[in-house]
Amino acid sequence: MSKETTAAPAKEKVPKEPLFSAKNKRLLYDPLNDNNPITVQVLGICSALAVTVKMKPAIVMALAVMVVCAFSNLIISLIRNIIPNRIRIIVQLTVVAAMVIIVDQFLKAFVFDVSKQLSVFVGLIITNCIIMGRLEAFAMANKPWPSFLDGIGNGLGYGIILVIVSIVRELLGSGALMGFQIIPESFYKMGYFNNSLIIMPPMALIIVGIIIWIQRSRNQKLIESK
């Protein structure tokens, strides 16, 4: 399994905590950089890369993961005290699978073309380690509202990497963003070519590698010891 940075369970009883206290805000912002699910926690890479050829499916995928992550965190956190410990994985899988079915049916109803492009990867959100990882590490030990925020935060952190990778790949690979042509026609006449290698799956891995490189050289404390 991937290594996991556990969040300290909020034990202290604060009588009336504001909805967006500093602690809760950190739950939202932390996964964007210091504790990013993809580049730092190494979770959920499986589905992250195959959908990043174009920006639109990447954004839809990011939203889907965010919704599933937030709501399954919420549900598991609400019932965390009545789940028998031995069968918690099955319970979690069932909740997540139910959420994914709802999202899948929603996508099929409203954005059918994107849903076709995502093909099996919507279903694979079930085994996305981000969701299982957050359920195990956070939702099982925290109250519903922080868990919900944690789900949104991790969904955003996942989405941000997806969107960066897809911007690079769509811009260099097909000269467009969100389907709109960005690189003008005159460039092509002067001999510019779309880089067709970047549409191929391997380049997604290399782009993520480079993102990790940039992030860790800016943020020295993330560097792994030898």
* Among 17-25, 55-63, 99-107, 145-153, the segment contacting another protein (CB under 8 A): 99-107
**Cα-based torsion angle of the residue sequence 124, 131, 64, 76 in order, rounded to the nearest 10 degrees:** 120
**Longest CA–CA separation in the chain, Å:** 67
According to the binding rule CB under 8 A, does residue 2 interact with another protein?
A: yes
Q: Which of 23, 25, 79, 89 binds another protein (CB under 8 A)?
A: 89
According to the binding rule CB under 8 A, does residue 100 interact with another protein?
A: yes
Closest approach of Cβ 104 to another protein, in Å?
7
Which pair of tokens denotes residue 26? 């950190």
Nearer to another protein, 119 or 181 (CB): 119
Q: Which amino acid is at 119?
A: S
Closest approach of Cβ 126 to another protein, in Å?
5
Q: Which of 27, 107, 132, 156 binds another protein (CB under 8 A)?
A: 132
- Phi and psi torsions of 220, nearest 5°: -60, -25
Q: How far apart are CA 61 and CA 183, in angstroms?
A: 25
**Residue 165 parent element (H or E):** helix 144-174
Q: Which amino acid is at 160?
A: I
Closest approach of Cβ 127 to another protein, in Å?
4
* Among 72-80, 148-156, 171-179, 218-226, the segment contacting another protein (CB under 8 A): 218-226
